[in-house]
Amino acid sequence: MSEFRTVLQLQLLPGSKRNRWLVIAPLVYWSDSWQRLVTIPIGFITDLVSFALLKGVAAAESVLHDYLCSCDDVVLEQANRIFAEALKAGGFNELEVSGMYDAVMDCGASHKENTYHLG
């Protein structure tokens, strides 16, 4: 079953003008569709949800998406599908998942950084 196996733990970066957050404990997610465990490492920096209307919603799922978008061996479409899977696993309804998926499809490419490598 797709699920987060740890709880999201973040710390706001001091002096952050764009509300950047630091992951302070590994965030672990199992993806059924990918048949893979994803571990977001301590030290990963995220802006959480990039869309003003969704601030405070789906934080762990957003960190997962940001991390996958920062991996050089994950294509954006794959990151978006896993984001949708994580939202469903987190209890979001189909309308909510669809809206958030559409938002990352429209704007998610701006976060593709190619900083990490899943291997």
- Which tens digits make up the pLDDT trace of 41-99? 999 998 887 655 555 678 999 999 999 988 888 888 999 999 999 999 999 999 999 98
Label the pairing between strands 10-12 and 3-4. unpaired
The pTM of the full predicted model, rounded to 2 decimals, is 0.86
> What is the C-alpha to C-alpha distance for residues 8 and 18, in angstroms, rounded to an integer?
20
Q: What is the DSSP string of 38-64?
A: EEEPTT-EE-S--SGGGTTSSHHHHHH
- Which tens digits make up the pLDDT trace of 10-47? 999 888 777 788 999 999 999 999 999 999 999 999 88
